[in-house]
Amino acid sequence: MAKRDYYEILGISKSATGAEIKKAYRKMALKYHPDKNPDDKNAEAKFKEAAEAYEVLSNADKKGRYDQFGHQAFDGAGGFGGGGMNMDDIFSQFGDIFGGAFGGGGGFSGFSGGGGFGGQRRVKGSNLRIRVKLTLEEIANGVDKKIKVKRKVQADGTTYKTCSTCNGSGQVTRITNTILGRMQTATTCNTCGGAGQSINKRPADADAQGLKVKEETVSIKIPAGVVDGMQLKVSGKGNEAPGNGISGDLLVAIEEENHATLQREGDNLHYDLYISLPDAVLGTSKEIDTVTGKVRIKVEAGVQSGKILRLRGKGIPSINGYGKGDLLVHVNVWTPKTLSKQQKEFFESMTEDEHFSPKPESSDKSFFEKVKDMFS
């Protein structure tokens, strides 16, 4: 099932300010909170949906990528994505949305003594960031990359014991009275840092948390149409967390390598084709580069320098799946700088010839019209 638009979920426009986004999310969170809608799967789904929308739209970088690429910016094939938030992720936002009463960094357990969604917040390992260089051909066709990554993992022989302060919950709870009723809040246990466990035994080559650095090969499926600077996420391939925590993520920043003959502009590609004066006069055919291999194009006799030949569908696929861009071939007639005596005499004799006099036709577009066509 296709994901709903994040702006639609929160009932706001794309021009909404940060304060308006926060206000809209607060309203939705209170309306669909599981404690106010017990055993209502639809309300729980809407609660999670609103939290995911806020998680993206409240972050300037993520919002920018979403505005440009839509859900594809996070939900690319092969495990990329910003979705799939769990309750721990959602409740970690409540300190920001509802203020300190909901526990800065702690869980939000519920209204009026209900069972709620309290409990242990699993500690998450730190994220890793890498840069991956891609050729234009790889960007055009999509590619599977195998990258060696050094990440922290739990060392063999490491054991953990239950934290005596929080009894393994990772949180210390307290109950306060608010205008909404009795509110149970939870803060992270200072003793174990929220893990619910502490080191019992660890091998000599492990750090204080029982982790060691290990090199692994990670498979990354990169979809066609990514752009330079775009960031993809491979869930669970960052550093592991101690105890029963969950692994962080691997963040993959895309870096586009320069192509020898092609230049990218959005989904379109540009190619400079240089032909000789005789070829321009008589016409010719030339083999040129594309991202899917070489193709041969025909250049009509009498072609003018600056003419743009458009090869439709020979550009880069849209990251949003809206088809492919075009390849724009810019014809440049090469004028010789040195001539033999015979060649010079020939051109001198042609200076008054009517066939060599400029006679632009209505089909010969001006420079500004050609630029306009490039962006149409």
- Burial zone of 90 (CB within 10 Å; 0-12 exposed, 13-18 middle, 19+ buried): buried
pLDDT interval class at 127 (50, 70, 90): very high
Domain count across the chain: 3
Beta strands in 24-142 (DSSP E): 108-111, 128-134
**305 and 174 in one domain?**
no
C-alpha separations of 125 from 90, 128, 212, 219, 248 in Å = 17, 9, 13, 20, 4
CA dist 251 and 25 (Å) reads 26
d(CA 103, CA 105): 6
Q: Is the dihedral of CA 48, 52, 53, 54 positive or negative?
A: positive
Q: How confident is the model at residue 85 (pLDDT cuts 50, 70, 90)?
A: low
Report the pLDDT value the prediction gives residue 105, as an integer from 0 to 100.
38
Number of H helices, E strands in the chain: 10, 16
Is the distance from CB of 56 to CB of 212 less than 8 angstroms? no
pLDDT at residue number 298: 95
Task: Say what the pLDDT of residue 325 is.
Answer: 94
| Max avg pLDDT among 69-73, 87-91, 269-273 | 269-273
| pLDDT confidence tier of residue 20, bands split at 50, 70 and 90 | very high
pLDDT band at 132 (very low <50, low <70, confident <90, very high): very high
Query: What φ, ψ does residue 200 adopt, rounded to 5°?
Result: -105, -55
Q: What is the pLDDT of residues 231-277, one digit of tens each?
A: 899 999 999 988 888 899 999 999 999 999 999 999 999 999 999 99
Q: What is the mean pLDDT of residues 298-311?
A: 93
Q: Which of 70-79, 101-110, 193-202, 291-300 has the lowest mean pLDDT?
A: 101-110
Q: Within a 10 A sphere around the Cβ of 346, how many other Cβ atoms?
A: 11
What is the reported pLDDT for 99?
A: 44
Instruction: Write down the pLDDT at residue 218.
Output: 93
- Residue 92 or residue 37, greater confidence: 37
User: Can you tell me the distance from the alpha carbon of 63 to that of 372, in angstroms, rounded to the nearest whole number?
Assistant: 30
* 269 is a domain residue: yes
pLDDT in tens, 350-370: 888 888 887 777 665 555 565
Please give the average per-residue pLDDT across 122-149, as a whole number. Answer: 92
Where are the extended beta strands (E) located within the chain? 108-111, 128-134, 143-154, 159-162, 171-178, 181-188, 197-201, 211-222, 231-234, 250-256, 262-265, 268-276, 284-290, 293-299, 308-311, 327-334
0.75 exceeded by pTM: no
> Which among 164-173, 184-193, 258-267 has the top mean pLDDT?
258-267
d(CA 103, CA 263): 52
252/291 same-domain check: no
Residues 216 and 123 in one domain: yes
User: Of 241, 256, 271, which closes a domain?
Assistant: 256
Edge-to-edge strands of the sheet including 181-188?
108-111, 181-188, 171-178
Q: Which residue's entry shows tokens 């993206």? A: 56
Give CA–CA dist 82/71, Å, rounded: 9
Higher-confidence residue: 182 or 374?
A: 182
pLDDT interval class at 109 (50, 70, 90): very low
The pLDDT value given to residue 9? 92
187 and 270 belong to one structural domain = no
204 vs 175, more confident: 204
> CATH no. for residue 52?
1.10.287.110
* Mean pLDDT score of the chain: 82
- Which region among 147-151, 263-267, 354-358, 372-376 has the lowest average model confidence (pLDDT)? 372-376
The residue among 334 and 367 whose pLDDT is bigger is: 334
Buried b (16+ CB within 10 A) or exposed e, 221-239: ebbbbbbeebbbbbeebbb
Tokens of 185: 């809040």
Domain-located, residue 16: yes
Residues 222, 133 within the same domain = yes
Query: What is the CATH number for 355?
Result: 2.60.260.20
Is the pLDDT score of 80 beyond 60? no
| Rg of the chain, C-alpha, whole Å | 31
Give me the domain span that covers residue 124: 102-256
Distance between first and last Cα of the chain? 33
Q: How confident is the model at residue 306 (pLDDT cuts 50, 70, 90)?
A: very high
Claim to verify: residue 238 and residue 286 sit in the same structural domain: no
pLDDT of residue 61: 83
Asked whether residue 17 is assigned to any structural domain, the reply reads yes
Q: Do the beta carbons of residue 50 and residue 10 sit within 8 Å?
A: yes
**Residue among 191, 189, 184 nearest 170 (CA):** 189
Average pLDDT over residues 85-94: 52
The residue written with tokens 């993809």 in the block is 232
pLDDT of residue 36: 78
- Does 92 fall in a domain? no
- Over 70: is that where the pLDDT of 141 sits? yes
